[in-house]
Structure 1
Amino acid sequence: MLDVRRLYMLKTVAARGSITAAAQSLALTAGAVSQQLTALRSDVGVDLLRPDGRTVALTEAGRVLLEHADRILAAMEEAESAIAAVKGTVGATATLAALPSTVTRIVAPALTTLGSCHPQLAVTCLITDQAQLRELALGTVDVVLGQRYHHLPDTTPRGIDISPLLDDPLLVVTAADQGDDRPVILQELAGHDLAVPPPTTDCGQAILQGCHRAGFTPTPRYITADIAAQLTLARAGLATALVPRTAIDPTTPGIRTTPLADHPIQRLLFAATRHTENANPTNTAVVAALRAAAQEGQTACLPPAQE
């Protein structure tokens, strides 16, 4: 009989691209993972992996087995969710992956609410902007607070349920003593010294495409994905930044925030979970807390201009 843990290791290696990377994500040694995969190969009697440069790839037999492994692992999670739904109680642990830009306005308030309403629930929070939905599909996290920019393609993997939380527009951020409070025409930023994320990020790509729609190609002076750094440069009068509204702490002094009058650039913030026919009460509680915090944060006042 096939060992479910070995099937999960095969799935992880296929997703990570190497035994070493898979071992790191599983908190195991590479030797331990190799040993289990060797045992799995012995179980099925055919090679499942082959070298592929510095990585490994699935053989044809490996691809076939992984298709079945996905269904087996999904069925196991379905069974666990069904039992949890029958029990109807929030569990003891959950893992949340969230964007750094959502911590202040959404994640922290949501975790505070969960601590009050479900004190038995310990939430481990992974703050990262890298491959959250892949981690969700692999089962290393239970809930993702993610983003998708409206004019970029939807790349949600199969088997993932998306629960929209709010639309989050990018605001133009300058020093408090620069400009006025009128909405900004995006084309006006063509002559500004901009602080923007790298074009390899979702936000950087969204800004680049938004500027193209407005008729110009931006020439950033500062390139950083660190929103705190962007706000610091804007507050010092060194740059104009485009920052998601929920990423701006309402208490931040010395900055002016204004909306775009045309060509809006905005992201959808969403909560994502793996699809199951029976809703898991623990995941449902986490998503509900995120939604409540997002709605409350949406109505919060933005930081006033500080003269």
Structure 2
Amino acid sequence: MIDPRRLRILRAVADHRTVTAAAAALYLTPSAVSQQLAALEQETGHALLTRSGRGVRLTAAGEILLSHAHAVLAQLERAEAELAAYAGGAAGEVTVAAFATGIAEVLAPAIRDLAGRSPRIRVRVRDSEGDESLTLVLDGEADMALAVEYRGAPREGDVRLARVPLYAEPFDAVLPDGHPLSHHPHIELAGLAADDWIGPYPGNPCHDVVLLACEQAGFEPLLVHSSDDFRAVVALAGAGAGVALVPRSALRGMELKDTVVRPVEGPAPTRRVFAAVRRGAELHPLIRPVLEALAGAAAGLPTG
């Protein structure tokens, strides 16, 4: 009989690519993870892992077992959801990992809505940039992620996660006041190819959006200044340090001193935001109202 707890460990190792990283994510020692994997190999009668550089990778047998692990773990999530619904369990805590603008734009309004509609559900927020929020969900440290599409993000239909699309928003060009293109009603990115750029650090999904937009415009931006705080990005642009692309929602209510904000000519770079939970948990009586509140808050966002 295969122990499903060991399947969680196998999936963590597959996700993190090293025993040490998987152990840290699961709050276990590397020795304990290695022992559980050895026991799983004994249960199945197959070698499941092999060394690959400084990490490990799954063998063919390991990949087969992992595909079944996804299904088993999703079914266990569904069982927990149905049992909680049977017990009338719309009371408890839901931990949501989210990026700062998403917290302000949809999560905070959703929490306000839940306080009136489902007052027995408590939402605990973790500020998590980049792809960290999805990892927290997969590792069981958060129940839900508010995340942004990025290169390498789990795709729609990923067997580990259930996703709910929330909103998409364009990026606007932020230029120093007095920039040669500041009088244009729209900005062609190719016209900024020779400028210094200000942008998020690698790992932040918005970094990928900026690079891809510039790549499609035919150039690689010279990222001279880096910050994940869009207020800092705008302040640097206002100081004449460079140009930037910033999500439109991040600009709302911000002091735009000494800057000019213009829409991008043609198809605008876009940030696509979604909520994600472990597959099978989307119908849990604690999870479902939070997803519905997030969707309602996203539907009420300004479109301009």
Length-normalised TM-score, structure 2 = 0.81
Residue 2 of structure 1 is matched in structure 2 by 2
Paired residues of 2:176 and 2:238 also in contact (CA < 8 A): yes
1:231 equivalent to 2:234? Answer: yes
Deviations 1:242-274 (A, max 9, x none): 101122351435254322232311122122234
Q: Name the CA distance, whole Å, in 2 between partners of 1:58 and 1:208.
A: 32
Q: 1:251 to 1:4 in 2, by over 3 A?
A: same
2:275 is paired with a residue whose SS is strand
Q: Report the AA paired with residue 123 of structure 2.
A: V
Residue 148 of structure 1 is matched in structure 2 by 149
Q: 1:278 to 1:99 in 2, by over 3 A?
A: closer
Residue 200 of structure 2 is matched in structure 1 by 197
Residue 245 of structure 1 is matched in structure 2 by 248
Deviations 1:138-177 (A, max 9, x none): 554332222237x999834523333222221001223567
Q: Name the CA distance, whole Å, in 2 between partners of 1:68 and 1:200.
A: 30
1:298 is paired with a residue whose SS is coil
1:185 equivalent to 2:192? Answer: no
Q: Name the CA distance, whole Å, in 2 between partners of 1:53 and 1:88.
A: 49
Residue 281 of structure 1 is matched in structure 2 by 285
> Percent same amino acid at aligned positions?
34
Where does structure 1 lack aligned partners over 5 or more consecutive residues?
302-307
Residue 266 of structure 1 is matched in structure 2 by 270
Q: Report the AA paired with residue 146 of structure 1.
A: A
Q: 1:128 to 1:157 in 2, by over 3 A?
A: farther
1:30 equivalent to 2:33? Answer: no
Q: Name the CA distance, whole Å, in 1 between partners of 2:111 and 2:170.
A: 24
Q: Name the CA distance, whole Å, in 1 between partners of 2:11 and 2:152.
A: 28
Q: 1:258 to 1:154 in 2, by over 3 A?
A: farther
Residue 41 of structure 2 is matched in structure 1 by 41
Where has structure 1 moved over 6 Å in runs of 4 or more? 151-154
Q: How far does residue 40 in structure 1 lie from its aligned partner after superposition?
A: 2.9
Candidates 209, 216, 223, aligned match of 1:213? 216
1:78 equivalent to 2:78? Answer: yes
2:130 is paired with a residue whose SS is coil
1:17 equivalent to 2:17? Answer: yes
Q: Report the AA paired with residue 204 of structure 1.
A: H
Q: How far does residue 93 in structure 1 lie from its aligned partner after superposition?
A: 2.2
Greater CA drift, 208-217 or 3-12: 208-217
Q: Report the AA paired with residue 251 of structure 2.
A: I
Residue 114 of structure 1 is matched in structure 2 by 114
Paired residues of 2:90 and 2:285 also in contact (CA < 8 A): yes
Paired residues of 1:193 and 1:221 also in contact (CA < 8 A): yes
Q: Name the CA distance, whole Å, in 2 between partners of 1:72 and 1:197.
A: 38
Q: Report the AA paired with residue 263 of structure 1.
A: P
Paired residues of 2:201 and 2:207 also in contact (CA < 8 A): yes
Q: Report the AA paired with residue 197 of structure 1.
A: P
The alignment yields a C-alpha RMSD, in angstroms, of 3.3
Q: 1:212 to 1:250 in 2, by over 3 A?
A: same
Paired residues of 1:187 and 1:215 also in contact (CA < 8 A): yes
1:194 is paired with a residue whose SS is strand
Paired residues of 2:148 and 2:271 also in contact (CA < 8 A): yes
Paired residues of 1:104 and 1:247 also in contact (CA < 8 A): no
Q: Report the AA paired with residue 229 of structure 1.
A: A
Q: 1:275 to 1:193 in 2, by over 3 A?
A: same
Q: How far does residue 200 in structure 1 lie from its aligned partner after superposition?
A: 6.3
Q: Name the CA distance, whole Å, in 1 between partners of 2:222 and 2:58.
A: 43
Deviations 1:171-223 (A, max 9, x none): 12235676458333333323433212356654333333323433444333324
Length-normalised TM-score, structure 1 = 0.80
Greater CA drift, 275-284 or 67-76: 275-284
Q: 1:26 to 1:124 in 2, by over 3 A?
A: farther
Where does structure 2 lack aligned partners over 5 or more consecutive residues?
none
1:130 equivalent to 2:128? Answer: no
Greater CA drift, 83-92 or 166-175: 83-92
Residue 305 of structure 1 is matched in structure 2 by none
